[in-house]
Every structure is written in structure tokens, then in C-alpha cells.
Structure 1
Amino acid sequence: MENLTRRDLCVALSAFAAMGGVVAEGQGNASREAPASSTGAAEPVLTHSEIFAFDKLPIHASANGGQSRAVIQGRLATGEFVEVHETALPPGQMPHPPHRHTHSEFLLIREGRLEATSDGKTGIVEPGGIIFTASGVLHSLKNVGDVMANYFVVAIGVQKAIV
């Protein structure tokens, strides 16, 4: 399968944005103000379009030898919370132990070979593949390849761990 290009990613993110608009239409006249987060602070409302240069994104080093780049987070004008980041995961590593959270997420695989386990089912995902994890589902990820795995995460919904 081909590597996921920046153009493919832009098309995928545009589709996600369009899906949010369809959901918002079904919500009627819901408030457009940003609700408070779990810390009590209002989430930023994302009202302006923006272009992100990958090489300009801040890099955060991870304890497992990988790194992540935060892209954007906040509440869309249609009400959904969204967070996007890119992760580089070294061979043999997991980004974190198996877990659950309230938000749903899409992982768009750019490079590498990942083993994804979700709701008791395991599969291999390679470049160009996409993983969807629904809210509340126990899931995990591991780089089973011999090169760094790179993937984007698009999280939609309330950002809260489920214990």
C-alpha cells in the first residue's frame, strides 16, 4: 500500500470536518459557545482556517524514545472537540499501555508496521491504513516493524480517560 501523502491527509481531514457539519445540523440550535473543560477553563474555539508546516510543529520527546508533534486542539464552531497530533514510535515500542477514553479517534498511518488491538481483536496496519477507535473501547498499539512508525491521530470528542 502507498504511503499516506500530505495531500491524502488533507483530503481525509476535510472529510472529517464535513462529517462534523452533518452532525451539527442534526443538533439544531445548540449553543456555539465553548463549554468548560474538565478543569473548568473554556476550550479554545477554532474559528479560523490554518495551515501547519510539519517542520515547524513543536516536538515533544517521549520516554520510549519516540516523539510527538502537537498540531491543533480545541472546539470546532459546530461544537465538537478535536485534537490532532503526529507520533513517531520506535520499533518494539508501545505509545502507552492498553487504555480506554471517552473520545473517538482515527489513526492515519504514514510509515511503519503497527499491531493494533481493539476490543479484543488484533490486526496489522501498514502505510496508508487507518484505524478507528470508538469511545470507551479498550485498545492498544505496538510498532512490530523494524523502522520508526509514524502516524497522525485525530481525536474527536471529550478528552477524558476511562478507568
Structure 2
Amino acid sequence: MQEMNRRDMLAMAAAFAALGGLAEAQVGPDGKLSQTTVFDFGKLPVKTNATGGASRAVLSGTLPTGEFLEVHETMLPPGQMPHPAHKHRHSEMMLIREGQLEFYAEDKVLPLGPGGVAFAGSNHMHGLKNVGQTPANYFVVAIGVQEK
């Protein structure tokens, strides 16, 4: 991979700033998700992480009915976990697009592949690991109490 020079980094920073403004306009300045819209996957900023994977934040805000909703997409390299198993107040669904994963649900380890959906209820220990030979891609939909 080619190293980035200052000019490239400034151009990328400007692009991310512009995308941030677009996302704010779609979600609303008050963090409310009240507009019907489309999020173009190819235009979502990509954030690399310590596992060598990447993620795209799709949306985050409060629905008109009061629930907090956050959606992101993750690419997880073979053999990696996005983070150690954990629990939190909100519930999560993981919708698998590609790859072979193991879903850790409390004391069980369950296989999960393309088209599969995992659900982690509020305050239940859970985690994922890519056990395949190729990157795994999945969406996470979190709903409930916003973590501070």
C-alpha cells in the first residue's frame, strides 16, 4: 500500500468533513432519525481498526418513538475478533453478508454464515470471531439505550 503524503491526507480530511456534514443533514442536527432516506454504502467513510479490519458507520440517532438506533458495517479479517466478548444495555443484531463466524452467546459457541442473523439481548455476554479463511462482512444493528 502506498504511503499518503500531506496533500492526500488534507484531501481525505476535507472529504470526511463533507461526508460528516451530509450524515448530519440526513440524521438531523438534533440526533433525531426522522427523515426517510438512503445511505449510499460506497460513500460511507471507512475507518480501519487494530485487527486490520474496517468499519463503516451508517447511522446513529434517536427514532421518533424514542429508541436509540445505531447501524454499522464491519469487515473482519480471518482469525480475528472485533473486540473481546462483552455485554451492554442495548440489544444488537448482526446480519452476516459474507464469511464464516462463530457467535459467542453467553456460554455457547454457535456457527454463523452468510445470510445468518445473530441476536444479543440487553446485558447478555456475546462476541464474534471470524473462523473462515476469507474476510467476514456483517452489519450490526443496535437498538435500545444509548451508551454514554
Matched, 1:128 2:115: yes
Matched, 1:147 2:147: no
Matched, 1:69 2:56: yes
Q: Map of 1:2-81 to 2, 5 A cutoff? A: 44-81=31-68
- The Cα of 1:159 is off from its aligned counterpart by 3.1
Distance 1:99 1:123 in 2: 16
Structure 1 runs of 4+ aligned residues shifted over 6 Å read: none
For normalisation by structure 2, the TM-score amounts to: 0.78
Structure 1's 145 and 43: CA in aligned 2 closer, same or farther, altered over 3 A? Answer: farther
Q: Say if 1:43 and 1:75, in contact at 8 Å, map to a contact too.
A: no
1:82-125 Cα distance to aligned partner (Å, 9 max, x none): 00000000000000011110000100000000000111111110
Q: Say if 1:74 and 1:83, in contact at 8 Å, map to a contact too.
A: yes
Give the one of 74, 85, 101 matched to 1:114.
101
Distance 2:71 2:52 in 1: 20
- The Cα of 1:50 is off from its aligned counterpart by 1.1
Structure 1's 131 and 43: CA in aligned 2 closer, same or farther, altered over 3 A? Answer: farther
The size of the alignment, in residue pairs, is 120
Distance 1:128 1:100 in 2: 24
- Name the structure 2 match of 1:137: 124
Percent identity of paired positions between Structure 1 and Structure 2: 57
Q: Which runs of 5+ in 2 are unaligned?
A: 1-28
Distance 1:133 1:43 in 2: 28
2:128 match: secondary structure? strand
Paired residue type of 2:53: G
For normalisation by structure 1, the TM-score amounts to: 0.71
1:45 match: secondary structure? coil
- The Cα of 1:43 is off from its aligned counterpart by 6.0
Q: Which runs of 5+ in 1 are unaligned?
A: 1-41
Paired residue type of 1:101: H
